[in-house]
Structure 1
Amino acid sequence: MGQIRQLGLFATLKPRELRVIDDLLQERRYLKNEIIFDEGEEGQTLYIVLSGRVLICRQGDPGTGRIAEVPAGALFGELALLDGAPRAAQARADEDCVLASLSRADFKNLIETNAVIASKIAFQLAWELGQKLREGFLAMDRRPL
Structure 2
Amino acid sequence: MAKNAIELLKDVPLFSSFSEKHLQAVVRTAKEMEFPPGTAIVREGDRSKVGFFLILDGQVEVRKGTKVLSRLGAGQFFGEMAVLDGQPRSADVVAVTPTKCLVLASWDIKALITTYPDIALELISELTRRLRQTSMALSE
| TM-score where L is the length of structure 2 | 0.83
Structure 1 residue 43, shift from structure 2 partner: 4.5
Q: Distance in 1 between matches of 2:53 and 2:107?
A: 14
Partner of 2:88: 86
Q: 1:86-105 to 2 correspondence within 5 Å?
A: 86-105=88-107
User: Deviations along 1:7-57, whole A, 9 cap, x unmatched?
Assistant: 121012122221221222211111111111111111431111111101111
Stretches of structure 2 that go unaligned for 5 or more consecutive residues are: none
Q: Distance in 2 between matches of 1:124 and 1:78?
A: 11
C-alpha change, 1:71 and 1:89, in structure 2 (3 Å) is same
User: Deviations along 1:57-82, whole A, 9 cap, x unmatched?
Assistant: 123xxxx4222111211111110220
C-alpha change, 1:80 and 1:56, in structure 2 (3 Å) is same
- Whether the 8 Å CA contact 1:43–1:84 is kept in 2: the answer is no
3-state SS of paired residue (1:9): coil
Q: Distance in 1 between matches of 2:37 and 2:125?
A: 30
Structure 1 residue 135, shift from structure 2 partner: 3.2
- Whether the 8 Å CA contact 1:31–1:95 is kept in 2: the answer is yes
Larger Rg: 1
| TM-score where L is the length of structure 1 | 0.80
- Whether the 8 Å CA contact 1:55–1:70 is kept in 2: the answer is yes
- Whether the 8 Å CA contact 2:69–2:134 is kept in 1: the answer is no
- Whether the 8 Å CA contact 1:43–1:77 is kept in 2: the answer is no
Stretches of structure 1 that go unaligned for 5 or more consecutive residues are: none
- 1:122 equivalent among 112, 115, 120: 120
Aligned residues: 134
For the pair 1:135 / 2:140, whether they are aligned, the reply is no
3-state SS of paired residue (2:14): helix
3-state SS of paired residue (1:70): strand
- RMSD (Å), alpha carbons: 2.1
Q: Distance in 1 between matches of 2:102 and 2:78?
A: 11
Q: 1:1-145 to 2 correspondence within 5 Å?
A: 1-2=5-6, 3-44=8-49, 45-59=51-65, 64-111=66-113, 115-117=114-116, 119-137=117-135, 139=136, 143=140
